[in-house]
């Protein structure tokens, strides 16, 4: 790929809150660039980029879809690799991994909703990976649309230096076009041609004042960036040319000093061509982005890779997907060098060689085969054995590990099981495949219940995954709420004598023990604290170990509701044996029965897991968050104040925390997040304990 070609390549993502119009905007881009011949609509389930059945049914984007389009601008063909990302917080991983490999982004905002909670999340993600962006204020035709209010929100809520490049002509029903502040012309779209045609004209007289104000601000801002332009501005502020303004805006966008703002209505086919022009004008090409850093695994030294097809090959796999026809697909971004189909690469993250049998360019879920791919491009590969999200693919002779991605920990779990026994193996394979695709999806087997527990980013996330099990893998599963693993403990000390006797003709069974049972001396102690105080051989030595074994086994099944005991102290005081009838098994069984009897008298109680929780939320929601936690039997320990937000730290029972993520989102309008980890076990209040025991015993 020649250097010229890369100059005219743009790797961009479209990111926004749910329902801001990302997918509709992408569909219009496909239509105007000639990629699609008819307009796909999200609400009709016909959007090209929402190709999953679940997406079409629900009208939401779940998985990021990639496509490549060509756009002619300024008599030059530009190549745009576009990734349409989801807006729902449950699928935030899709945005995270897309932004990691993109050079620029279009942030879409709804002209009515403005900066919404998830807009803040994706904006922070773009900040993290230093992705330059332009803002597109969509849905200008909707009732309540307010362009200037959204621009103010961009500044206040996101801290963006938002610079309008357009002023809308009319709003809501009367929205018909924009005034371009750089060219100082009005652009009016023609509804008959579905927005394909538009006309340019003079600025409407009633808008002359506001246009003049914003245009002067824009020119001033451009002039401040360069001394030469400043001189020109002082001599005659209209002498700065359009080309000079474009050049300065581009420089400032790439340096992340400003974020240009344009507007339109994708659904009404207005403003999308301008957006495409702005992508070509202001967003960086692969050359504009800094060279990528990595570590040589052989030497542990830092190395750099430049965007150059002559350099050693290095690419980052940012997504794994499964296609029913071609199998597993790895999406990757090439940072340096080139790759031919059929060649071998080193997966430096695993240290294994991989053969890339075919390289493709993706268009949603369709593939276009490629012979080779070069630096600065995004493609997809098939034929590999073991590539995971975040792996580095590189030249065998020049290994490098690029910085991978960080993924959030899952926040919600459910237990699942197949409907039929025959499907147990199939379920394991299917879950492994889904976990390969999605780094935020975790599988574990609960040691106590033997259940398979799946964890994800939210209820919707798990709902989609179980739906995919059903449709793609033809597996019917039952899912339930995960069981809280309670524990039991004894609080009092009792002395007890247990005699075990069985006579059935011939050799009988006999064991006799006197012991003291109570809580362990050290509260931190786990397991059985066994003390042997038998004197004078009343119980032979060989029977002491079976007694201990009996108590140990009995601890896994408490007397209240069958939950295990964390710790226990047993002091063996005395006993007796029979020369013929006594044996090891008799003493073991005697200990188990003795435990049951004694534990009932020793005031057994139920313990529950207590979690340590941290909730991050904006200042104005702290009252609601603490109120909600108090309802859940939480003990709030402290509240740390940060700039504009606070961290609430508390201890709370796990049993009260199911569905908390959803509840927190509701309480904080989606702007709060929480993390939880296990702290300790604590006695359950009596009235709750009774309800739990009743439920378990049925």
The arithmetic mean of pLDDT across residues 320-327, rounded, is 73
Mean pLDDT of the residues in the chain: 84
Which range is least confidently modeled, 57-61, 170-174, 582-586, 642-646? 57-61
Which residues neighbour 412 within 8 Å (Cβ) at sequence distance 6 or greater? Answer: 455, 456, 457, 458, 459, 461, 462, 661
**Strand runs labelled E in 62-150:** 65-73, 76-84, 104-110, 133-138
Which residues neighbour 174 within 8 Å (Cβ) at sequence distance 6 or greater? Answer: none
- For residues 307 and 5, give the distance between their C-alpha atoms in angstroms, rounded to a whole number: 12
What confidence tens digit (pLDDT) does each residue in 49-101 have? 544 556 555 555 556 667 888 889 888 899 888 887 776 556 667 777 778 88
- For residues 136 and 113, give the distance between their C-alpha atoms in angstroms, rounded to a whole number: 13
Q: In the numeric block, which tokens belong to residue 275? A: 């957006």
- Per-residue model confidence (pLDDT) at position 383: 81
Cα distances (angstroms) measured from residue 366 to each of 65, 362, 363, 516: 10, 6, 5, 73
- Per-residue model confidence (pLDDT) at position 90: 60
| 274 burial type by CB count under 10 A (0-12 exposed, 13-18 middle, 19+ buried) | buried
Q: Would strands 185-189 and 177-180 be described as parallel, antiparallel, or unpaired?
A: antiparallel
The stretches of 362-444 forming alpha helices (DSSP H) are: 424-437
pLDDT value at 410 more than 70 = no
- For residues 450 and 167, give the distance between their C-alpha atoms in angstroms, rounded to a whole number: 62
pLDDT value at 172 more than 50 = yes
> What's the number of CA atoms in the CB half-sphere (13 Å) around residue 37?
0
Which residues neighbour 511 within 8 Å (Cβ) at sequence distance 6 or greater? Answer: 498, 499, 500, 543, 575, 577, 582, 586, 587, 589, 590
- Per-residue model confidence (pLDDT) at position 499: 92
- For residues 61 and 122, give the distance between their C-alpha atoms in angstroms, rounded to a whole number: 15
- For residues 240 and 232, give the distance between their C-alpha atoms in angstroms, rounded to a whole number: 7
In this structure, are residues 404 and 349 in contact, taking their beta carbons and an 8 Å threshold?
yes
- Per-residue model confidence (pLDDT) at position 214: 92
Residues forming beta bridges with residue 191, ordered by sequence position: none
The stretches of 236-392 forming alpha helices (DSSP H) are: 242-254, 272-282
pLDDT value at 397 more than 60 = yes
Q: Would strands 392-394 and 344-347 be described as parallel, antiparallel, or unpaired?
A: antiparallel
Which range is least confidently modeled, 62-66, 376-380, 596-600? 62-66
> What's the number of CA atoms in the CB half-sphere (13 Å) around residue 38?
4
pLDDT band at residue 137 under the 50/70/90 scheme: very high
**Strand runs labelled E in 324-371:** 327-336, 338-340, 344-347, 352-355, 358-363, 366-370
Q: Would strands 494-502 and 177-180 be described as parallel, antiparallel, or unpaired?
A: unpaired
3-state helix, strand, coil in the chain (%, to 5): 30, 35, 35
| 243 burial type by CB count under 10 A (0-12 exposed, 13-18 middle, 19+ buried) | exposed
Which range is least confidently modeled, 17-31, 290-304, 308-322, 581-595? 17-31
What confidence tens digit (pLDDT) does each residue in 202-247 have? 999 999 999 999 988 888 888 888 888 888 878 877 788 888 889 9
- For residues 187 and 205, give the distance between their C-alpha atoms in angstroms, rounded to a whole number: 14
Three-state secondary structure call for residue 3: helix
The arithmetic mean of pLDDT across residues 250-258, rounded, is 91
Which range is least confidently modeled, 33-37, 248-252, 473-477? 33-37
344-360 in b/e form (b: 16+ CB < 10 A) is ebbbbbeeeebebebbb
- Per-residue model confidence (pLDDT) at position 1: 44
The arithmetic mean of pLDDT across residues 579-592, rounded, is 91
Q: What angle do CA 502, 507, 510 make, to 5 degrees?
A: 40
- For residues 258 and 218, give the distance between their C-alpha atoms in angstroms, rounded to a whole number: 11
Q: What angle do CA 293, 298, 303 make, to 5 degrees?
A: 20
- Per-residue model confidence (pLDDT) at position 185: 92
pLDDT band at residue 402 under the 50/70/90 scheme: confident
The arithmetic mean of pLDDT across residues 597-623, rounded, is 87
- For residues 548 and 532, give the distance between their C-alpha atoms in angstroms, rounded to a whole number: 9
- Per-residue model confidence (pLDDT) at position 609: 82
Q: In the numeric block, which tokens belong to residue 452? A: 């398979």
Q: Would strands 314-323 and 392-394 be described as parallel, antiparallel, or unpaired?
A: antiparallel
- Per-residue model confidence (pLDDT) at position 391: 85
The arithmetic mean of pLDDT across residues 158-179, rounded, is 90
260, 331, 342: which is closest to 64 by C-alpha?
Answer: 331
- For residues 444 and 431, give the distance between their C-alpha atoms in angstroms, rounded to a whole number: 10
- For residues 617 and 522, give the distance between their C-alpha atoms in angstroms, rounded to a whole number: 39
pLDDT value at 534 more than 90 = no
Q: In the numeric block, which tokens belong to residue 183? A: 């060219």
Share of the chain above pLDDT 90, in %: 28
- Per-residue model confidence (pLDDT) at position 150: 92
Q: How remote is the C-alpha of 88 from its chain's centroid?
A: 10
518, 448, 434: which is closest to 477 by C-alpha?
Answer: 434
Largest CA distance in the chain: 121
Q: In the numeric block, which tokens belong to residue 353? A: 């060689």
**Which DSSP symbol is given to 565?**
B
pLDDT value at 625 more than 90 = yes
In this structure, are residues 99 and 27 in contact, taking their beta carbons and an 8 Å threshold?
no
The stretches of 582-644 forming alpha helices (DSSP H) are: 584-601, 622-631
Q: How remote is the C-alpha of 263 from its chain's centroid?
A: 29
pLDDT value at 136 more than 90 = yes
- Per-residue model confidence (pLDDT) at position 511: 92
């Amino acid at each position: 790929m020649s250097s010229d070609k890369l100059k005219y390549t743009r790797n961009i993502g479209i990111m926004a809150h749910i329902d801001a119009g990302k997918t509709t905007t992408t569909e219009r881009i496909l239509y105007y660039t000639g990629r699609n011949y008819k307009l796909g609509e999200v609400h009709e389930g016909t959007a090209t980029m929402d190709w999953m059945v679940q997406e079409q049914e629900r009208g939401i984007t779940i998985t990021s879809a990639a496509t490549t389009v060509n756009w002619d601008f300024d008599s030059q063909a530009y190549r745009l690799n576009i990734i349409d990302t989801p807006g729902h917080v449950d699928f935030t991983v899709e945005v995270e991994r897309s932004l990691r490999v993109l050079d620029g982004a279009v942030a879409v905002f709804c002209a009515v909703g403005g900066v919404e909670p998830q807009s803040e999340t994706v904006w922070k993600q773009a900040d993290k990976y230093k992705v330059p962006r332009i803002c597109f204020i969509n849905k200008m035709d909707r009732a309540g649309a307010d362009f200037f209010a959204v621009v103010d929100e961009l500044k206040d809520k996101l801290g963006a230096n938002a610079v309008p490049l357009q002023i809308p002509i009319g709003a809501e029903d009367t929205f018909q076009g924009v005034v371009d502040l750089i060219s100082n012309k009005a652009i009016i779209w023609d509804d008959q041609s579905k927005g394909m045609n538009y006309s340019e004209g003079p600025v409407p007289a009633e808008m002359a004042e506001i246009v003049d104000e914003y245009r002067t601000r824009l020119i001033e801002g451009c002039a401040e960036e360069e001394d030469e332009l400043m001189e020109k501005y002082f001599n005659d502020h209209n002498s700065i040319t359009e080309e000079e303004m474009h050049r300065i805006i581009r420089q400032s966008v790439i340096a992340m000093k400003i974020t240009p703002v344009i507007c339109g209505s994708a659904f009404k086919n207005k403003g999308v061509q301008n957006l495409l022009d702005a992508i070509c004008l202001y967003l960086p090409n692969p050359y504009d982005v800094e060279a990528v850093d990595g570590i040589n695994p052989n030497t542990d030294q830092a190395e750099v890779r430049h965007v150059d097809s002559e350099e050693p090959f290095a690419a980052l796999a940012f997504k794994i997907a499964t296609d029913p026809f071609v199998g597993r697909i790895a999406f990757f971004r090439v940072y340096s060098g080139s790759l031919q189909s059929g060649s071998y690469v080193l997966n430096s993250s695993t240290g294994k060689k991989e053969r890339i049998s075919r390289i493709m360019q993706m268009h949603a879920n369709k593939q276009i085969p490629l012979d080779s791919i070069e630096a600065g491009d995004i493609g997809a590969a098939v034929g590999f054995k073991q590539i995971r999200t975040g792996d580095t693919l590189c030249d065998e002779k020049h290994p490098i590990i690029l910085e991978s991605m960080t993924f959030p920990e899952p926040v919600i779990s459910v237990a699942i099981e197949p409907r039929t026994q025959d499907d147990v193996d199939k379920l394991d394979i299917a879950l492994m495949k889904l976990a390969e695709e999605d780094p935020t999806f975790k599988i574990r087997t609960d040691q106590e219940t033997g259940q398979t527990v799946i964890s994800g980013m939210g209820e919707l996330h798990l709902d989609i995954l179980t739906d995919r099990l059903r449709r793609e893998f033809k597996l019917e599963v039952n899912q339930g709420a995960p069981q809280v693993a309670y524990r039991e403990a004894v609080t009092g000390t009792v002395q007890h004598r247990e005699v075990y006797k069985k006579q059935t003709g011939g050799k009988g069974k006999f064991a006799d023990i006197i012991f003291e049972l109570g809580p362990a001396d050290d509260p931190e102690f786990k397991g059985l604290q066994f003390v042997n105080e038998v004197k004078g051989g009343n119980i032979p030595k060989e029977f002491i170990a079976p007694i201990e074994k009996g108590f140990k086994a009995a601890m896994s099944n408490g007397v209240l509701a069958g939950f295990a005991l964390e710790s226990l102290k047993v002091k063996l005081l005395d006993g007796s044996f029979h020369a013929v009838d006594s044996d090891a098994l008799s003493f073991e069984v005697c200990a188990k029965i003795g435990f049951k009897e004694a534990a009932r008298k020793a005031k057994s109680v139920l313990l529950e897991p207590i979690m340590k929780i941290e909730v991050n939320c904006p200042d104005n929601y702290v009252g609601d968050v603490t109120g909600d936690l108090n309802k859940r039997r939480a003990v709030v320990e402290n509240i740390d104040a940060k700039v504009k937000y606070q961290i609430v730290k508390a201890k709370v029972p796990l049993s009260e925390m199911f569905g908390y993520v959803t509840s927190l989102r509701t309480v904080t309008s989606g702007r709060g997040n929480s993390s939880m980890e296990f702290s300790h076990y604590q006695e359950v209040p009596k009235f709750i304990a009774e309800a739990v025991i009743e439920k378990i015993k049925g």
